[in-house]
Every structure is written in C-alpha cells, then in structure tokens.
A = this chain, B = another copy of it.
Amino acid sequence: MKYNLPHKTIERLSQYRRALLICLEKGQTHIYSHEIARIQHITAVQVRRDLMLIGYTGTLRKGYNVKELIELIGEIIDSSEGINVAIVGMGNLGRALINYFIGKRSHLRIVASFDINPDKIGNTMSGVPCFSIDDLPQIVKEKNIRIGIMTVPAEFASQTADLLVKSGIKGILNYTPKPVNVPDDVYLEEYDMITSLEKVAFYVKLNEQKIV
C-alpha cells in the first residue's frame, strides 16, 4: 500500500462508493465534489481532499467520472481476492445482517455462520450455512475466513472473541455491547447502538437548551 490514508478518509471512501453506486445505477456518469459532499453532509473541500489523497483527478467543469472513481476506490480499500467473512450468533441481529449484506459487495463474502443452538445449526439462510460453534476453528481454516462478525449474547462476547482469534481470524466486528480484547495483529471494530442513540439524545437536548 503506497498510501497512508487517514482513518476518517477510509470511512468516507466507503461512503462515497455507496453513493456513487447509486448514481451509477441511475445512469449518472459524472458527479461534482459538492454533490458528493451534500449527500454525505460534509464539505466539497473535504471530498476533493480525500480524492487528492488517493490520487484521483477529475475533469475540470465536469467533475468526477462515477465509474472510474468507484473502481479506484475499490482498488484502494478492497483486497483484490476478496475476503471471507463469518457471522457468529444467528439471532435477530445476525439474521438481519446476513439479509442486508448478502450480494451487496462482491469482495465481502459471508461464507458461514455459527450458533450454539441445535435448532439453527444445519440451516441455510440467504445461501449462508449455519455451523456449530464447536466446528468454528476447523471451518475458519477450511474456508479461509479472515473476518468475524460477533452477534452473540453479551455474556459470550469474550469467549467468542477468544475463539475467533485462536482460530486465526484477523479482523473482528463486534456488535455485542461488551468490549472484547484481542491481540495487536487482529483489527477490532466495535459498535453499540445505544451509544449512537445516546449521542442523538444528547444533541437533541443541547439544541433545545440553546433555543431556550
């Protein structure tokens, strides 16, 4: 990787692509920085800066070529061979996630799910087979799974993370509200919806106080 991109830029590139894919579908061939900016609620300068960082140059007065930009973003943030992903915990959230992800991004392949409940093991959802959590280490190796998404109950968070790490996984996306610990060579991302909701609530309160 020749670039040393800011973390925030990585997130925004993913978001730009999401917006660009919609534009492409609509048949739009070019887009201005300020159009992207408005969709993402940021400034046009920010967009141009990010594109500068990845070395993309638009056409003066015409903006950026949607197709080209989608491809370039792909070259930068995706890995060329794609990456295999597993979901652990096929409850409400796990099922919702599979439904949502499936078919959305070709380089992110959800190839397995895991559960402890015998009723779920053996089922297939949106083409993703559900295995016993006991078989996780083996299947992770067999299928070359490198990322695990955790949607197990909070009390099983740590042990699930440990199991994933021990099985050789290199990235974890933790949706349980329980932070977990992983070695330095495993990339960890955690997200709790309550934090988002509390943040919204805080700023709603703040806005109200400003008006008063």
Contacts and interface: CB of A to CB of B under 8 A. Distances in A.
A210 to B, nearest CB: 8
Contacts of A14: 192, 194-195, 198-199
* Interface size band for A: 35 or more
A22 B158 CA distance: 14
Given A92-B99, A189-B196, A207-B170, A201 B11 contact: no
A147 B197 contact: yes
Interface stretch (A115-123, A130-138, A159-167, A171-179): A171-179
B173 A105 contact: no
B179 A204 contact: no
B11 A197 contact: no
Interface stretch (A43-51, A56-64, A76-84): A76-84
Interface centre among A108, A192, A202 (most CB of B within 10 A): A202
A60 to B, nearest CB: 26
A15 interface: yes
B173 A187 contact: no
Interface of A: 1, 7, 10-11, 14-15, 18-19, 22, 38-41, 77-79, 83, 85, 91-93, 95-97, 99-101, 104-105, 107-108, 146-147, 149, 170-173, 177-179, 181, 185, 187-209
14 contacts: A7-B199, A14-B199, A41-B181, A78-B205, A79-B204, A83-B204, A85-B197, A92-B95, A92-B99, A93-B100, A96-B96, A108-B198, A171-B203, A173-B200
